[in-house]
Amino acid sequence: MHKFILAYIVAIIIMILVVYAETGFNFSKIAHPITPGSTTTISGASSTTTISSSGSGNSTGTLSTCDTLYLTTPYLNASLSQKCFSSGGLYGVWVASGNSGKEVVKITGADSKTYLLQASAYNCTTYYDNITLPAQAYNVTLETGLGGGTCGNALVKLNRTTAPPVQVYSDVYNGQFSTGTYLGWAETNPGFGTAPLNITYAVKPSVSCYVGQPWAGYNGTYFATNYNCGLQAGAGNLTSSLFYVSPTKPFLNFRIISPASANLYVLILGGSNQPLVTAHYNTFNHTASGNAATTFRNASIPLSAFVGKPVKIRLVATSSNQQTYMAAGDFALSSRPVTTPGILSSLVFNAT
């Protein structure tokens, strides 16, 4: 009996010596798999923090699922990443640059292939694309900008919902048409064409895309118009994305060319497309220097009655001819109105 007890004690001593030889009793050396609830480091220019991952994990339980991946940070000039596992299929990628003013999103697979590399300098963008991912592990990274937005934290979401949500911006999205496209605007009928007019191109002597005198009085390079360079001007609508009316910037300022016409006007619509304000202009009646038909005039629409609410702009041309057309752009919210006297024909606030 004593021999059995002695042998048992010797065996325990041997096991202890083996463990000590392997770890030195430092159990942090023992590897653990990554599990849902692990943390991700966020490094910024002036700060570092961590966030927790979420998800049910893949079949091995080592990575969170890409089906509900969510990364967000309030920090500017930051970079964060998260690994996840996908069983394969179609995903929606949802992006917001937020207060950082821009974002860069990259999705790289375990096969070293880049499945998404997207960057945007637009504030508050929240939807980018649908992508198809094969079954494997992925690394998702988000980089933020140096500031400029006013719409919360930068973020990226990856999930199985592929229909974009309704997006409301903090200002008029692509209000100067600086992209050279109608990005963020919806066209109805062919009136305003498939893209804004490039003023640099239009005023070239070899092109002469204007009536009488070259276009003047515009800040940007592109503007929306249903004037089609010598062809019959067309009817149609052009509608902006939704944007919130700011309590500190309750005026919508823009530049416009328009004759007095019941068929040409600017609408302010609510979130359900209900008419809120109808504005008619007559820049042709303005007699200051500059050609009345091709010189942009300042215009303002007060939106203080709709502070905090989502609205949109609609340029309306129900019919037109070569001498009766609208041109507009430089749309932006402002703390004060800037308007040319005498060009406003009527401003009607509709019942809401």
Do 190 and 339 share a structural domain? Answer: yes
Do 229 and 101 share a structural domain? Answer: no
pLDDT at 321: 65
Is pTM, for the whole model, over 0.85? no
- Choosing from 130, 165, 200, the residue where a domain stops is 165
CA 66 to chain centre: 22
Within a domain: 143? yes
Instruction: Write a three-state SS string for 72-85.
Output: EECCCCEEEEEEEE
CA 58 to chain centre: 31
Within a domain: 177? no
pLDDT at 35: 30
The CA-atom distances, in angstroms, between 1 and each of 6, 9, 14, 264, 347 are 9, 13, 20, 108, 106
pLDDT at 34: 27
Domain that holds residue 331: 186-349
Number of domains in the chain: 2
> Where residue 131 sits, what CATH number does that domain have?
2.60.120.380
Q: From first to last of the 352 residues of the chain, give the pLDDT tens digit.
A: 555 455 555 555 555 444 344 434 333 222 222 233 333 444 444 333 333 333 333 334 578 999 999 999 999 999 999 999 999 999 999 888 888 878 899 999 999 999 999 987 766 666 778 999 999 999 999 999 888 766 678 899 999 998 877 778 888 989 999 889 998 899 988 889 889 999 999 999 999 888 888 999 999 999 999 887 755 567 899 999 999 999 999 999 999 999 999 999 999 999 889 999 999 999 988 766 677 789 999 999 999 999 989 999 999 998 766 678 899 999 999 999 999 999 999 999 986 5
Within a domain: 27? no
Handedness of CA 16, 21, 27, 32 (dihedral sign): negative
> How is residue 11 written in tokens?
């065996």
Do 93 and 204 share a structural domain? Answer: no
pLDDT at 280: 97
Do 123 and 222 share a structural domain? Answer: no
Phi, psi of 143 (to 5 degrees): -115, 140
Do 294 and 202 share a structural domain? Answer: yes
pLDDT at 163: 84
Cα 232 to Cα 214: distance, rounded to the nearest angstrom: 19
Do 107 and 58 share a structural domain? Answer: yes
pLDDT at 114: 97
> Where residue 327 sits, what CATH number does that domain have?
2.60.120
